[in-house]
Amino acid sequence: MSGVKQKVALELRVFESLVSTFPDFPCTVTDIKFPKKDFVVGFYLFVLGEMQYYPNKILYGQLEEQLSRESHAEMLRDTFQLINLSKVLRTILNQLQPKSGLQFGLNDLVDPSPARNSSFMFTLLNFFNFADQRVGDLKAKVEVVGERKAELEKLLSKREMLARERNNRAAMKTKKKDFAKEVHQRMAEFSKLKEESASLEKLSDKRQEELEEVKRHLIRLQSKTSELTQTYQKLQAQQVQSPEVLKNTHKHLEEKLKETKLLLEQAKETNKARKKNLQLLEKVAKEQETRLSLLEDIVAQAKEVKKLNSDLANLESKLKSDVTVTELSQVKVNGYKNDISRLAAQLSSLQLQHEKTKSSLKESIRHYQEEKKALEDKESSEVESTLEAINNVQEEINELIDLNNNLNNRYEKLYEQLIQQEEDFLKYRTSAIDAEIAEISETRKSSGKH
């Protein structure tokens, strides 16, 4: 009898807790006393949905591709969903009530037992109320921690971006220094080439003057040769002088001719050397043109370097301002780090407090379960005493009903007796009146006769 009373009390407590926690969920006492598969599955899915956990939604994407080739996909899908839901509830409920000895299984969804179902529902409702209360307490702190983490991530990303920009600027600065060194080397080479070009121009002018001098000397030699030829022709046309004079003249002319030929050969060699020098100078001129184009490129590069230097100066000024901003950001980051460390300390203290609270809650739950058991025992005894009192009252009521019935019977009998007496009285009175009337009539008749 006490077990039945405990079961009835537990069902009533489950119903009251469910109605107070989820007033929108359709439920009656009959659903809890005689649970069915649809009601139980709907209840567990509703509670898990209120906890923002959807086990069938997680399983849906994994099963669709595998079940697409099956002939009875809907049946398999329902089966898999029930199995998955039973696994989830088994994990949750075994953690929530490890000491009760009840193990949640698939049969508690397919063919639920009233006693087991009431125990599981009551445990899950208590956990939901406890979690809802704790989430409300910790939500503000979690939001603050989340905001600080988001700000820290933004600052860290900004610091990484500034570090990348600083590294890029340092690399650009190094590259510009290397380019400036290269330009400096090119400028030195350009100055050397310019000096060589000036020396070559001087040498070319000198060689040109020498060539002009050789040309003039050659012209003079040619004019002298023509004069000698004319003189020789004139001498041949003249009268023949003495043989000695002719021999001496011929000898003198031959020596002069040899000297002229020698000078002519020297002039030719000099001319060849001058031609070689001219070719060399033309080659040098071509090289100078090439060097000039290189120098123009170097000048353009120097202009670009100058522009880059100005850009570098602007970048350095901007870098200084960015460094200032970075230092300020670093100060903020340090402040945020301090805040994070402080929040971490607070979080650790909160975790410790949570552990303490958890242990105290476990102890409270244990005491509560003990009190619950004692209360159930007390309630069972109270129910027994109440039922006994009810039985006593019922017996008294029955006795009162019997007494009332007896009184009613006696009243009816007395009423019947009273009616009978009244009827007898009326009959007696009528007869008495009739007798008096008859007596009066007889008296009148006798008095009339007299």
Domain membership of residue 273 (yes or no) is yes
pTM equals 0.34
Domain membership of residue 249 (yes or no) is yes
Q: 249: Cβ–Cβ under 8 A, 6 or more apart, which residues?
A: 235, 241
Give the range with max mean pLDDT: 7-11, 115-119, 324-328, 413-417: 115-119
Domains identified in the chain, total number? 1
Domain membership of residue 304 (yes or no) is yes
Is the pLDDT at 1 greater than 50? The verdict is: no
Task: With beta carbons less than 8 A apart as the criterion, state whether 188 and 373 touch.
Answer: no
- pLDDT, the chain, mean: 75
Q: 112: Cβ–Cβ under 8 A, 6 or more apart, which residues?
A: 35, 36, 37, 40
Give the CA-trace dihedral at 199, 202, 203, 209, to 10 degrees: 180
User: How confident is the model at residue 378, as a pLDDT?
Assistant: 59
How far apart are the C-alpha atoms of 371 and 224, rounded to whole Å?
Answer: 151
Task: With beta carbons less than 8 A apart as the criterion, state whether 82 and 109 touch.
Answer: yes
Task: With beta carbons less than 8 A apart as the criterion, state whether 133 and 110 touch.
Answer: no
Q: Which domain holds residue 223?
A: 156-316
Angle, CA 147 vertex, CA 142 and CA 149 arms, to 5°: 95
Domain membership of residue 53 (yes or no) is no
pLDDT by residue (tens digit) across 12-31? 888 888 888 888 888 888 88
Domain membership of residue 269 (yes or no) is yes
How far apart are the C-alpha atoms of 51 and 125, rounded to whole Å?
Answer: 11
Is the pLDDT at 245 greater than 70? The verdict is: no
Domain membership of residue 362 (yes or no) is no
How far apart are the C-alpha atoms of 324 and 326, rounded to whole Å?
Answer: 5
The arithmetic mean of pLDDT across residues 384-405, rounded, is: 64
Angle, CA 376 vertex, CA 372 and CA 382 arms, to 5°: 140
Higher-confidence residue: 150 or 342?
Answer: 150
User: How confident is the model at residue 339, as a pLDDT?
Assistant: 65
pLDDT by residue (tens digit) across 162-202? 888 889 888 888 888 888 888 788 888 878 877 877 777 77
Domain membership of residue 305 (yes or no) is yes
